[in-house]
Each structure stands twice: as C-alpha cells, then as structure tokens.
A and B are shown apart, each in its own frame.
Chain A
Amino acid sequence: MRISRRSFLEGLGAMGLAASVGRLAESPAWGQTAPDYRALVCVFLFGGNDGNNMVVPVDAAGYAAYAAARGTSTGGLALAQSAVLPLAPASGAAAYGFHPRLTELQALWDAGVLAIVFNVGTLLAPTDKQTYLQNSVPLPLSLLSHQDQQHQWQSALSDQYSRTGWGGRIGDGLPGSSLPPVISISGDQLFTLGNSTSPLALPPAGGGFGLAGFDGSAEASARLQAMDDVRMLQEENLIVQATQSQTSRALAASRLIAPVLAGTGSTVDALFAGLTSSLAKQLLQVARIIAARQTLGAGRQIFFVSQNGYDTHNDQLNRQGNLFGDLSPALKAFHDATVQLGVAEAVTTFTLSDFARTLQPASGGGSDHAWGNHHLVIGGAVRGRQTYGTFPVLQLGGPDDFSGQGRWVPTLAVDQYAATLATWFGVSAADLTTVLPYLGRYPTTNLGFLG
C-alpha cells in the first residue's frame, strides 16, 4: 500500500512540548491505519567504513589498479585477490568481491536479497571533480568531519545544522500508535528525530527497561505516586519540561513493551545464538519487536541500530576485519529472522556511515577521512545480486578523486538513496520533497534497488 498524502505544514506549527507517546505534539497523521507491515532498519557504521575494502574489483585490470593504490607492502591495505569473496551476478562473471570476513553477506548476495549501491555521499547538488575544484556548486558543510558528516547522512540537509533526520521526518507522517513509530537501539540519534517525532530508545537485548524498587507496598506506591505527581507539574524551564516529557514517554512505553523485551517465548532468539556483538544484540531486539508487531499494533516502523569502531586510522586490516566479523553474521541472522517471521519482503535493512576512507594508506596501516562510499541494502524486497550506481575509478588523482589520496566525489546523493527507501516504505512522491527537501536537484529519485 501507499501511505496517503498529508500536509506536513499542518504539523510544523505544532512544535509544542506536550508529553505524549512518541510524538512531541499531536499533529495530523496519515488518515488510515496500515493493513500491512513495513519496516526500515538503518544500520549506522560509526567512524567511516572503508568501502574501498568492503567491495573490491576482482577483474584483472580492476584489481591491479586497486592493489597499486592501496599498497601491498608493509603498511599497505590491499586485500589478497584470492581472499576476496566473488560476487557473481545472475549471469556472467563477477566484477566485484566482498571483504573476506563478509561470508554471510556473500550468501545473502547469492540468495538475491542483497544489493550494493556505489559511491553515495552527502551532496547539495550533482557534483563532479571539476565542479568541486572550481567551487562552482554548493558543497556540504565540513566535509571530512565525523560529526558533521554523520549528521548530514542522517539529515540529508548538508547545508545546515539540522535538528531533524530523514527517519524522523518520515515518522512525522506515520499514524499515531501505542508505541512511537521510530525506535532506536542506539539512543536518540538525529536520524530518528522529526518535527513532531521523537524516538523510543530501547536497550539491546538483555538490557533493562523499567523502574526498579516498586513492590506494591503502601510506601512504594506513595513514592511512585509522588514521583508521577512531580513529573506532571507545570514547569517553566524548557530543559525541565523536556526531561519530564522524556520520562513520561519512557514509562508509558515501558509498561507496553516490557513483555516483548523480556524475550520470553521469542522464536527469533535461536537465530542469534552464539552472536555476542553489540550489533547482534541490537538487531535481536529489533527482531523481537517485529515479531510482536501485531500485539503492539505497529504497521510502519523505522529502526536505528549501529556499530562503532570504523575510524580505522591505523591497523585497519585487523580492525575492519574484526568489525565485519561481527557485522556479517548479525545482518544474516536478522534477515533470517525476518524470513522466519514471514516478513522478509516487508523489512529492508540498509547501511549508513560517516564517509569512505582514503584509498591511499596513511602511516600506521590505516586510512584517513574521505567522501563518497559504497552501501548495502538487504531484504526480501531488494532487487539483489546487483550493483547500483557507478564504481569510482580507483586511481589516485584520477577522475573521481578530488584530493590525490583517493577521496571519491559522490556520484549519488544521500537524498536519492533515502528517497528510494522512503518510496518503498510508502511515502508518496508528493511528500518525498518534505522528507527530502533537496531531492528535486537530482535527475533520478529512485535508484531502483527496491521492487
């Protein structure tokens, strides 16, 4: 189904501070309840994942260019050609391969549920090396800065310090439900904040989400009542108000969702057996919530999970390998969970990250901050076993490198990547420009990786 059109303008004036579940203020929502279910799952790779070693050309000429620039001596970053996991398309020979620690993701590629999108980045207009160097197009603020680029990937507004993210802005158009439509297992990230949407932040599987110390005794009940009364007092201070509101939302959600988070009777836990990473515990929590979607009355949900540690300025071969060793089985287990739950075609998982890293190695066996990067999209609705976009020319100082160290000028914008996901999720063409105000600057608004 399509989510019907709504006027976002109606909601914009309603930036009040009233405490309510999931929405800072009641604003008109989509006029219908969703008979079906869809979820977007954002996996943020914090620190700037080195996409140049996530996806490697495996044809003779491509690999040779890669190895020459990445370096094969001590301190170099080139992966051995024989170790790269080939990604065969539906027909013909593999042109690219995965990092050797992405074995589970190779299996998802082979199963046709994983697509790769090449050289996506923060942009304000279509940009190439020439227009970048001539400064003849507007450029994102503070390229190469972690925090700014993390925020811009999450906001798709690279000319400002946005206070909302595109996940939250999609959430602004979702119908009210008993739980907030945007749920983070990684805290209140910018991606999850809308004009009227505020996320529910939940702990990873195993973490507690409730108040301790209330045993039903008269003393405890009086203390709880007093706590509630104090929280409901009208206060002038804005930080106090926001703190009261956050706590009220948390308590309301806690009462609803505690049984789900306990994991009792969960059928998806077994798929995560043996996976101990933080990311696996976050994705298990998401899977449990999706499993309970009918009980919780959820029709459309947006989730945010994350993995830290991708800022590999040194010792990158080991560090990225270990991170991928956590990422790959966790994403596979999560996809398997959606299959088991019968919602594989209703759940799409995708990566975001600060930026790519320089193709040229830096002293210490690492790499520095760059720009355009490769990303992964996974799910039953994904037109998988394919790549989208244009692979950069792996040449220092080449046609895609604006700095001489292998920093790619993006050939696709975050806006286009986000629009493809949002459209599949049900945001109408008319509302896309509210979610992604600069989308109209790009020739293509749907990259085609979702059916």
Chain B
Amino acid sequence: MSNERMPVPGRPRAAAHRLPLLLALLAQALGCTSSSTVPAGPALDPDTVRFLEQSTFGPTEVLVTHVQQVGFSGFIDEQLAVPPSSLGDYAVVLQGPAQVCPTGSPANCYRDNFTGFLPAVQFFHNAVSGEDQLRQRVAFALGQILVVSAEDVPTTYGIADYQTLLLDGALGNFRQLLESVTLSPAMGRYLNMVNNDKPNPDAGTNPNENYARELLQLFSIGLVQLRADGTVVTTDGGAPVPTYDQGVVEGFAHVFTGWTYPTLPGATLKTHNPVYYRGPMEVVASNHDGAAKALLGGVTLPAGQTPQKDLSDALDLVFQHPNLGPFIGRQLIQFLVTSNPSPAYVARVSAVFADDGTGVRGNLAAVVRTILLDPEARGAAKTDPAYGKLREPALLIAGLARALGVQTDGVYLRNACAAVGQDVFQAPSVFNFYPPNAPLPGTSLLSPPSVLFDSTTALSRSNVVYTLLFSKVAPDATIAGATGTVAPLTDLASSAGDAGALADRLDALLMHRTMSAAMRSAVLSAVNAVPASDPVGRVRAAAYVIATSAQYQVER
C-alpha cells in the first residue's frame, strides 16, 4: 500500500497536550493572572487540527478529539466508508423557464428550477453537518477543476446530478470519473459536446471544439509538458514545450461527435434528443464522424470505429499521458494543503497517481491519502514563509461555522460565499473562480485564492464574519424547511470568564496554537472591553478579531 511508505502519524504526543497546562502553571507561579486557568475545552493536538483543515470543511473540538483517537490513516479509512451526502431531490424539469415559470409565478420559481441555488444551499448544510467530510472536500476540489457552472447550464436537477456524480467519484478512479464527466449531459451542455454534429459540408459547419479543448487544457493534461514533479519542460531557449497543437484539439473534437441528451423515458433516441439531464449522454452512430482522427502523441484512431470505441480510446490516451498525475495531483495539493507545494511533494503524489502500490493508476483515494499524510502536509507548525494558502471563501465560511458551532440551514452561508466572490456551483467560467497559477503580487509565489481577496472582498469577508458571529439570520421564507443561521456560542461562552482561557481555546481550535503573544494580547484587549457579564459578547469579540486576521485567514 502506498501509505506504508509514508510516515504513519502517531498518537498525538502527550507532551503536546500537557504543554498548555504546564504553561498555565508556570504563568501562575510567575504571578501572571491573565491565563490562570486551564482552557475549558479539550486539549487539541495542533497537527490534528491542521489535518482536519486539509481533509474536511474544518475541525470541531469533537472531531479533533476523535481523530486523536483513531489516527490520521484510521480517519481516512473511516471516511472512505461513509456514503455520500445528498444534495437534495429535485424534480426533473423538461420545459423551459417560459413554460415552467410564466408571468405571475412565485419569484423563486426560476431560482428553484433553473439555477444551482438550492443544491448550493444544501452543499453548505452538508459541509457544516455532513459525515462524509473527506468525500465532500475532495469533490469540492474536483468540482473546481472539472467545472460545470449553473451560469450556462440552467437546470437545478442537472446541476445537482453533476455534483452528485463528483461526490460519487471523488474517491474512486480518475479514469472512470473522466468518463462520467465526459458523458454528463450537464457537461455536454456546458462545453457543447451534446448535439455536436459531425462535419456538415452543406451547412459549412465543423465539430465544436469546446469540450475537446478544455478537456485537454483544464481537466487532464494542461497546455505544457510537465515532469513528474510538476515543473515545466522547456526548450533550450527556455520556452515551455506545448503538450499538443490545434490539430489534436480538432482530432478530439471529431471524437466527441454524435452524442446527445439521454433519451426521455418512453421516447425514442433521435439525433438531437430534447434537453434532459438525467443519466449519461447517448450516441447516434450516424452523427459520429467516421474518419480517422489524429490525437495525442502521434496516435491516430483508425477510421470506422464506433463512437464508444473512439471515446474510450481517446480517454485512455488522456488518462495514460504522463502529465495527468502532476497536473491533477498538484492542483489537489493546492486545494487541500498549500498553494506552493515543493516539486518533491508533487513528485511523491504523482508517483502514487501513476501506481497506488497495487499497479492501479488514477486511484484518487490513494492520491488523497498521500497528499494528506505527506511530510510536507504534516507537522505541528510550518515556518516556511511560502507555506500555506489563503482560505477560499467556502472554506473560510464553512470552517468558521463548524468550529464555532453555528446552526445553519446553509442559506446564509451560500449567499455570503457568493457575495465574497465564490458563488458555489456557479463559477464565472470553466476556468473556475481563479486559475491554479495565479501569482501573489509583490512576491514570486502563487496564491490562487488571493484572486478572490481584492480590496472589496478584503472588507466584505470581515463583514461575513461579523454577521456570522453577531447576527441571527432569519429563515428565508421562500425556502421550504428553512431554519436560518445563528451562532449560539454557548459552549465557548463557558470559557469566557477568563479572557486568556478563551483566547487559548480559540487559538487551539482555529490556529493550532500558532497565535503569537502580541496577537493574543490584542485579542485579550478586545475581550476585556466586554463585561464578564456578557460571556457570549466576549466570545464574539475574540472570534471576530481572530477570524478576520490574516494570521487566521491564511491556513498554514
């Protein structure tokens, strides 16, 4: 097994648990009064907190305690067995908005039938409360690589079906996932593989290149040749070596002809089936281009193959391409752990992508396990100035909700996340909310999530933190079963009598004990401005100062 090569995370060392107590005793002995009591919460191992930031939508005190008992690998084993959570059941809608939501319909008719709104609300509910945390987290990352946006695919059930496909496949094999994604009618609609006709000389049309191009560029191998460690192969002159040319894109575009929407129950397959998003796309062989197709690496598919054989051969070529492991593996590291992984880290992940130890290529569960257990991911504290990543909005918001015990139906979280630039399931384009190579201005580093941290969202993110902590968001009356969002904070308030204890408890849970003395001092001053008679107010003050800080928002 691949993970046998990796350092096995031991039980958290007892010394790490006792350290706060020792410090507290020491402080007491020295006459310091600000931290005279032990935090009321459980002792949290810093690396376990970090592990859960990387593998779930965020640690809770209960979950940290659990993982301290079962170990990192044991937790991953547990998570692999948890069935996927549901994004909700949505009615199949066969007609368009004009028929389904005629004038006079409720205002939410369009939203609830033709957008990703309700699945995104359920996404946040699941992120905060669901048991399948690892699966959800990996599916969310994959959904930002294999992008379908509700912006151009107006169907609630189709978006939910697509995201469910990602949840189902997130810890399976990448080859199967690639095929499921390729044949998804939502993807077919988004990137125009659905109803992609073979060349039509009379009409003067060519096969549509959209899916072919983005499959290669974004979903699998990328534009330039990579080594196994993710670094770019260059010419003697220093120019990156392209992975393929326009002719290859056209070859794949011809492969992807002939497919149409799934056939409606009771109907007969036609060249262009009516819009229907349930199940995989189907093919009409007579609309498939029968000529030979020049594809990757000088491979040409012979003329006259079936559309299914063409598709399978083409996806096999992509799947076997040496770029695939580093291209996908590096992005998964960026989504889960750090924006600037070392080439050696990428290489270790690529190796497991190529062979999980049992001769299987593309085993995503093994890849994810390797990413999470790698020495570059693990450890109590990371001091490299280039390490870490800015929390993307969904992780910031869901993570705070989980850590602070926010009770939510997901509605406010979805809306807040959209307001700070990450409208979940509705990326602005197939290039996602940000590209994986986005630079951090003023440095030589990459920081993809910083694309969503401009001067406007720098402030609006703080305002989301404020609302989460200080407001009670009423249930949205247009959503059945809505319960609203509120942070009771009563558990943390039990620690609020002692400002130092409160700061330490939040430090352990939110910052895995990396809070500096100076930052702690600032937190204490905010807490101490709130009377002890208002323990919830003291928690709010402390959590606000921490959660709005760059020190917290950059996960390390």
Contacts and interface: CB of A to CB of B under 8 A. Distances in A.
Interface of A: 15-17, 24, 46-47, 69, 71, 73-76, 141-148, 159, 161, 163, 184, 187-188, 193, 198-203, 207-213, 218-219, 221-223, 225-227, 229-231, 233, 235-247, 249-251, 253-254, 308, 311, 313-314, 358, 360-364, 366, 368-369, 403, 405
Nearest to B460: A208
Nearest to A306: B428
A240 B445 CA distance: 12
A179 to B, nearest CB: 11
B95 interface: no
Contact of A369 (B205, B213, B421, B553): B213
Given A146-B429, A243-B554, A223 B456 contact: no
B482 interface: no
Interface stretch (B118-126, B135-143, B194-202, B296-304): B194-202
A200 B249 CA distance: 39
A361 B390 contact: no
A218 B462 CA distance: 19
B455 A201 contact: yes
A265 to B, nearest CB: 23
A227 B452 CA distance: 21
Given A227-B549, A363-B205, A253 B213 contact: no
Interface of B: 191-192, 195-197, 200, 202-210, 213, 217, 223-224, 239-240, 242, 246, 249, 257, 339, 383, 385-390, 421, 428-429, 431, 435, 437, 439-443, 445, 447, 450-460, 462-463, 466-467, 470, 516, 518-519, 522-523, 525-526, 528-530, 537, 541, 544-545, 548-551, 553-554, 556
Given A209-B456, A403-B246, A405-B206, A223 B385 contact: no
B196 A364 contact: yes
A249 B455 contact: yes
Contact of B447 (A17, A239, A244): A239
B454 A15 contact: no
B192 A364 contact: yes
B28 to A, nearest CB: 25
Given A200-B455, A362-B207, A403-B246, A313 B390 contact: no
Given A218-B529, A222-B529, A247-B458, A148 B203 contact: no
Which residue among B240, B242, B545, B556 has the maximum number of chain A CB atoms within 10 Å of its CB? B545
B529 A242 contact: no
B516 to A, nearest CB: 7
Given A76-B204, A159-B239, A250-B455, A237 B387 contact: yes
Given A201-B454, A308-B428, A71 B204 contact: yes
A279 B313 CA distance: 44
Given A73-B202, A199-B454, A363-B257, 13 more contacts: A47-B429, A75-B200, A144-B246, A147-B435, A188-B441, A219-B541, A226-B541, A243-B450, A250-B455, A254-B455, A311-B210, A313-B209, A364-B197
B209 A238 contact: no
Given A209-B459, A222-B525, A368-B210, A360 B204 contact: yes
A366 B253 CA distance: 14
Contact of B463 (A142, A211, A218, A235): A211
Nearest to A185: B456
Contact of A230 (B209, B454, B529, B551): B551
A253 B454 CA distance: 12
A361 B204 contact: yes
Contacts of A405: 206
